[in-house]
Chain A
Amino acid sequence: MIGVRLAGRGGQGIKSAAHVVGTAAFLAGRHVQDQPLYGAERRGAPVTAFIRISDKPVLDRGPVHEPALLVIADESLLDDRSFDALEGTTGNTAVFVNTSKSAGHVASTYGVAGRLITADLSRMAEEALEKPVVSAAVAGATGRLLGLDWSDIEQALVLELKDIRVEGEEQERNLELAKKAYGSFAPLEKVEGGAQVVEQTFIELAYHGPEASTCSVVSPGNTRGRDVGAWSRLKPVINYDECTRCRICFVYCPDSAITIGSDDFPVIDYNACKGCDICYTECPVKAISLVRREK
């Protein structure tokens, strides 16, 4: 049994990548399971998907907590304190990180245990598709690391792309991207474990009163402090020489990322700003510009 966990951000195509790899393994005659973690994932928010591959029927369910292979499609997730990207990794885990940096740099910056492999799939995707959708590249890379055959990956990818109505030239470009990513790696030696085939057992559940299912949170507004700044690459910056203190930006910011300071000027909290750029568009005197966020 091999358990794989993929982590990325909404919009990158992580769910599709997991589905392609799962389908490819299925086409190769293995028993598989692949699923995204369904929740409030939105464009830019952390997204997780799981794959289990085995020679026997897969009876495990739910998240893969201790993956044999962990694929991190967005380096910034390693920096996100509210998202435990490295959960369950040990010295034996193979960890792939999509980054422009070297493996040594990533290992020392984020304290990654285990075998670390890196490659810049985002650049490959930008070059091939002119957009940061890495699903095909992640599928190619993950499939190769797991030792799957290219023909199975290719067939699975065509099925997936057809399903989301990507055809013709766009389909070709995705296939080429996947192939390029596939060709950039060697299969991992020994990826095993990460999930176990459990025998079916029945568990007696003790009775709990209704309060057990009625959760209450008495820490109102506690989403505040969650860092959503990595959702976008650009951030709005206010030029205070131009700002007329009209408060338009404050009024329209959906995410309560702008506060009005004691001097009546607006202040942007970059941990709270998702980069919707409404403030940039609506500022009547164009006092807000968009600047690339430094990592």
Chain B
Amino acid sequence: MTTLRDLPLDESLASGSLLCAGCGGVLLTRIFEKVLGPKTVTVNAAGCMSMLSVFPFTPFRSSWFYVAMASAPAAAQGIRDALDILLKKGRVAKEDDLKVVVVTGDGAAADIGLQATSGAIHRKLDFYYLVYDNEGYSNTGFQASSSSPYGASTKTTAPTALLPEGTLLDKKDLFEIWKAHRPPYIATISPAYIADMMHKIEKASRFAGPKLFIAHSPCPPGWDVGSDLVIRLSKMAVETGVWPLKEAIDGQVTHSLFMKKRRPVEEYLKMQGRFEHLFSPARQESVIQAIQAKVDDYWKNVTK
């Protein structure tokens, strides 16, 4: 599966959920489920994607399990262990085995669920882990998470006269935190690069153990961007270098896309209302420069 035409026509995620029009997370989940096929069990930590299923309705065609925000990787361990025991006892046939897929937001992944994730990677749990990174607590009204980027406005870090830049802290680098655990496979993905995403999910399936993905996931109401521009925005994130596409296999990092010339980050920032305060009423040059410098600093050492 490396071209868009290879994307299965059957929908693993049915229409009719109550999530926002143009939600990046829904698109990512849909593609993920499509590529992995129907034999999955999805474990959802509390967050927007857990609202896909609201009893008695569910868009999932396969099994789905809802769990507290902190605990998705731990629940995945329990499910994996149960499946392994049933397989061993012959109560589940080998061809009926399920892939265990955790889907969580950045808040769950980077904040309250980080220790459960660390534990699962450490125990070499055989699972897929998709973090749709909408850079905030979207489901509860877009408060800041440790994945919110410097300079963004959120419910809890709205710019004020005293602190005009919005979020003061830097985005936590989950990729590097995961990498320090040496799992077999980690990748960053983007909804604007679906073929790359399909390729990476398939590649990951060759490895036993933790297969971890972190995805750029535009949130139209939280980021204050038109729902029709979601794909454009994700593309811009990659082209400005804000969202590097890369993978780490047994700790060895390669970039999936290396640009000789990157667009200025300003073009990405200007598309979103959450950065509007950096441009009006007065331009906050130092903040914009600082954001650009962080991106330049990242790419300075990247050679492949």
Contacts and interface: CB of A to CB of B under 8 A. Distances in A.
B21 A232 contact: yes
A255 B20 CA distance: 10
Interface stretch (B23-31, B98-106, B293-301): B23-31
Contacts of B15: 223-224, 226, 228, 255-257, 269, 271-272
A277 B54 contact: no
B58 A222 contact: yes
Given A40-B51, A251-B194, A282-B231, A45 B58 contact: no
Contacts of A227: 16
A39 interface: yes
A223 B226 CA distance: 25
Contacts of B229: 281
A247 interface: yes
B271 to A, nearest CB: 12
Contacts of A246: 4
A210 interface: no
A188 interface: no
B11 interface: yes
A288 to B, nearest CB: 11
Interface in A219-250: 219-228, 231-232, 246-248, 250
Contacts of A45: 18
A254 B56 contact: no
B18 A41 contact: yes
B16 A223 contact: yes
B89 interface: no
B86 interface: no
Interface centre among B194, B226, B227 (most CB of A within 10 A): B227
Nearest to B228: A277
Interface stretch (B59-67, B121-129, B172-180, B248-256): B59-67
Interface residues on B, range: 35 or more
B57 A222 contact: yes
Contact of A278 (B20, B59, B227): B227
Contacts of B9: 259-260
Nearest to B56: A217
Interface in A192-228: 215, 217, 219-228
Interface string B185-225: 00000010010000000000000000000000000110000
Contacts of B57: 217, 222-223, 226
Interface residues of A, number: 45
Given A223-B59, A248-B4, A276 B16 contact: no
B5 interface: yes
Nearest to A223: B16
A44 interface: yes
Contact of B4 (A219, A247, A259): A247
B143 interface: no
Contacts of A219: 56, 58
A293 interface: no
A96 B206 CA distance: 60
A277 B60 contact: no
A247 B26 contact: no
A43 interface: yes
A97 B60 CA distance: 35
A221 B59 contact: yes
Given A42-B19, A252-B27, A274-B21, A224 B230 contact: no
Contacts of A39: 18, 51, 54
B20 A42 contact: yes
Contact of A247 (B5, B56, B230): B5
Nearest to B54: A40
A275 interface: yes
Contacts of A40: 17-19, 51, 54
Contacts of A277: 22, 226-228
A256 B228 contact: no
A220 B56 CA distance: 10
The 4 closest A-B pairs by CB, nearest first: A276-B22, A272-B15, A226-B16, A277-B228
7 contacts: A223-B58, A226-B16, A228-B16, A252-B191, A257-B15, A277-B226, A281-B232
Given A43-B220, A221-B61, 11 more contacts: A39-B18, A219-B56, A220-B61, A221-B58, A222-B57, A226-B57, A250-B7, A251-B194, A256-B11, A260-B9, A276-B220
